[in-house]
């Protein structure tokens, strides 16, 4: 029994302002290309079943083009692998906020795709001796959760679920970047599953033996720099889908080529540098990137930049970099706000209001104080200070 585990294609995502010659947002085209590449590879590998672990679309109402594209890819899959069930669940991105909206994923049922859009469903495939518990995002956040446990006599007990395993991300990142339903490892009930295919976290990750996030097919999260850091830490380069062999327990990473590089340049520390020197340092960093920054997604982090230096930078040059790259982000950080929360998120910038909010939300308070009101008051004050014209 071999399973193809794809997660988080985020079809229809629109980022940055560049379009393809066909008038499609470049990033939208990039993710579509990645999905198609993955489908091609899946077909080539001929797995016994295909699991898509949520966030097929980036939004609840994707563009018609994205819908049509997806329809075609599923048609290809089904046609090429007629005996392989395709199980598709909704993620937090493609789950409608209200039931009246209706879920576009149901469309793919017409192609014989087994879809769990709102409630959890248990698909049993007697021919494969396979049971798949499909747990979409909504099943975890609305009302009574399903029991996330193997059930029935089938030899292969598989779960596909879209959500965040508690502890995977630092508390300050999970809500902001992902906003998914949180499940604990214990909720997943590690014992007894043949395989658990997770979606939601965009970096490939083994939560526990036989419990995996496949990772997204493209850099599609709101904090792609954090994604990059996590990948670097895990020694991963780029994106992939997973081919799981349940008999041997072997996991095969099937890389998916990206449309364009995403580059986080080595940060510059501006302490003691004047504007001219800093301009030079920025140019030097960009110049060192092989192939330049053209059409790439690039960030350069500059730390310890005093306000007056940042005002005097060569903004014309910066505009040029921005035009050349698909996306160029010059991340200038003033000395007083370069503090990090210290929970293993280097490179992740927290603004002063963020810090204040976080601090106020966690500091011990007398029981009679309303914490929400307290935090609100504090953040209002800090906002007022930030808006002070003298503060730039």
Partner 1 sequence: MIALRPIGRVVATELKPSTPHQFYFWTARDTPVGIGAIVRVEEAGRVVFGVVTDAVAYSDMMTPMHAVLGADGDPGAMDDPTRRAEIRLFSASVLRQMPEEPLQPVPIGPVRLASDDDVRLALRMDAYTGRDRATGIPVGVYAAGGLESPVYLDCDFLLGPEAAHLNITGVSGLATKTSAVEFLLTSIFQTFPVHKGSVAAVCFNVKGPDLCFLDQPAVLSDEERRLYARLGLTPTPFTDVHYYAPFKSDGVNLNTLRSHEALAANTRPLVWGLREVLDYAEVLLNRDDVDAKADAFIDFLGERVVGRDYRDDTLRTKPFNVQTFADLEEFFRAIFDFVEAMGKGGEVWRTHHVATIRKVRNRLSNISTRSKGLVTDDGTASDLPWGGFADRNVYVVDVAGLDPLAQDLVFARAVSRLREHLERRDLGVDHVVVFVDELNKYASADGSDTYVRKMLLDLSERGRYLGLVLFSAQQFRSQVHRRVVGNAGTAIYGRMDMDELATPGYATLSPATKIKLATLPKGELMIRHPHFTQPIFVKFPRPPVMTSREGLDRFPPATGLSFPDAVARQLRTFDRHISTDGVHALVEGRAEPDVLRALAATRRERPADPFAFFSACLGRRVTPEALTTRRPVPSIRHADGDYGS
Residues contributing to the site for partner 1 (CB under 8 A): 20-22, 24, 29, 32-33, 35-36, 65-66, 68-69, 72, 75, 78-79, 82, 85, 111-112, 114, 119-127, 131, 133, 144-149, 151-152, 167, 170, 186, 189, 233-235, 343-344
Strand partners, 250: 245
∠ CA 53-54-55, nearest 5°, is 140
If you write DSSP's letter for every residue of 276-300 in order, what string do you get? HHHHHHHHHHHHHSTT-STTSEEEE
**Cα 392 to Cα 45: distance, rounded to the nearest angstrom:** 56
Q: What is the nearest approach in angstroms of partner 1 to the Cβ of residue 26?
A: 11
- Cβ 383 to partner 1 shortest distance, Å: 31
Query: With 0-12 CB in 10 A as exposed, 13-18 as middle and 19+ as buried, what is 188?
Result: buried
Closest distance to partner 1 from the beta carbon of 171 (Å): 10
Q: Can you tell me the distance from the alpha carbon of 19 to that of 42, in angstroms, rounded to the nearest whole number?
A: 28
Give least dist CB 236 to partner 1, A.
11
Smallest distance from the beta carbon of 69 to partner 1, in angstroms?
A: 5
CA-wise closest residue to 245 among 38, 40, 47, 44 = 47
User: Which is nearest to 89 in space by CA: 135, 38, 138?
Assistant: 135
Distance, in Å, from the CA atom of 358 to the CA atom of 173, rounded to the nearest integer, reads 12
**Structural tokens at position 241:** 């889908």
How many Å apart are CA 130 and CA 63, to the nearest integer? 34
Residue number with CB closer to partner 1 (62 or 238):
62
Nearer to partner 1, 36 or 61 (CB): 36
What distance in Å separates the CA atoms of residue 141 and residue 192, rounded to the nearest whole number?
24
| Partners of 237 in beta bridges | none
If we measure between CA atoms, which residue out of 241, 255, 187 comes closest to residue 212?
241
**Minimal distance, residue 29 CB to partner 1, in Å:** 6
Nearer to partner 1, 122 or 334 (CB): 122
Nearer to partner 1, 23 or 287 (CB): 23
CB atoms within 10 A of CB 267: 16
Q: Which CB sits closer to partner 1, 73 or 310?
A: 73
Least Å distance, CB 367 to partner 1, is 10
Distance CA 15, CA 26 (A): 8
From the list 173, 137, 156, the residue with the least C-alpha distance to 49 is 156
Q: How far is the CB of 370 from partner 1 (least distance, A)?
A: 20
- Rounded CA-CA distance 114/132 in Å is 10
Q: Which two tokens stand for residue 247?
A: 């008999």
Report the distance separating Cα 328 and Cα 351, nearest Å. Answer: 20
CB of 360 to partner 1, least distance (A): 21
| Nearest distance in Å: CB 84, partner 1 | 10
List, in sequence order, the alpha helices (H) in 252-387. Answer: 275-288, 307-311, 315-324, 352-362, 371-387
């Amino acid at each position: 029994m071999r399973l193809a585990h794809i997660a988080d294609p985020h079809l229809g995502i629109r980022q940055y302002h560049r379009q393809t010659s066909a008038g499609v947002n470049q990033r939208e085209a990039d993710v579509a290309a990645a999905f198609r590449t993955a489908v091609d590879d899946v077909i080539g590998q001929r797995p016994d079943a295909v699991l898509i672990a949520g966030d097929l679309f980036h939004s609840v109402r994707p563009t018609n083009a994205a819908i049509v594209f997806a329809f075609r890819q599923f048609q290809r899959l089904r046609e090429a692998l007629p005996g392989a069930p395709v199980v598709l669940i909704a993620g937090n991105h493609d789950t409608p906020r209200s039931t009246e909206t209706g879920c576009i994923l149901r469309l793919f049922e017409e192609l014989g795709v087994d879809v769990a859009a709102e409630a959890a469903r248990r698909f049993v495939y007697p021919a494969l001796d396979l049971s798949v518990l499909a747990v979409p995002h909504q099943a975890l956040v609305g009302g009574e959760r399903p029991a996330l446990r193997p059930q029935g006599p089938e030899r292969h007990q598989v779960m596909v679920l879209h959500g965040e395993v508690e502890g995977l991300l630092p508390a300050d990142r999970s809500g902001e970047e992902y906003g998914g339903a949180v499940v604990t490892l214990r909720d997943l009930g590690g014992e007894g599953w043949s395989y658990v295919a997770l979606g939601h976290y965009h970096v490939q990750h083994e939560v526990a033996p036989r419990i995996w996030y496949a990772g997204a097919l493209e850099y599609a999260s709101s904090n792609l720099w954090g994604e990059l850091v996590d990948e670097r830490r895990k020694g991963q380069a780029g994106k992939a889908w997973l081919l799981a062999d349940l008999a041997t327990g072997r996991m095969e990473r099937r890389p998916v080529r990206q449309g364009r590089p995403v580059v986080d340049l080595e940060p510059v520390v501006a302490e003691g540098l004047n504007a001219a020197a800093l301009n030079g340092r920025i140019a030097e960093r960009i110049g060192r990137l092989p192939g330049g920054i053209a059409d790439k997604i690039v960030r350069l982090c500059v730390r310890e930049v005093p306000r007056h230096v940042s005002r005097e930078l060569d903004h014309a040059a910066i505009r040029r970099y921005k035009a050349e790259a698909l996306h160029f982000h010059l991340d200038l950080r003033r000395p007083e706000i370069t503090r990090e929360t210290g929970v293993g998120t280097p490179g992740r910038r927290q603004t002063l209001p963020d810090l204040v909010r976080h601090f106020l939300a966690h500091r011990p308070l007398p029981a009679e104080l309303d914490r929400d009101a307290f935090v609100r008051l504090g953040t209002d004050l800090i906002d007022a200070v930030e808006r002070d014209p003298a503060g730039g």
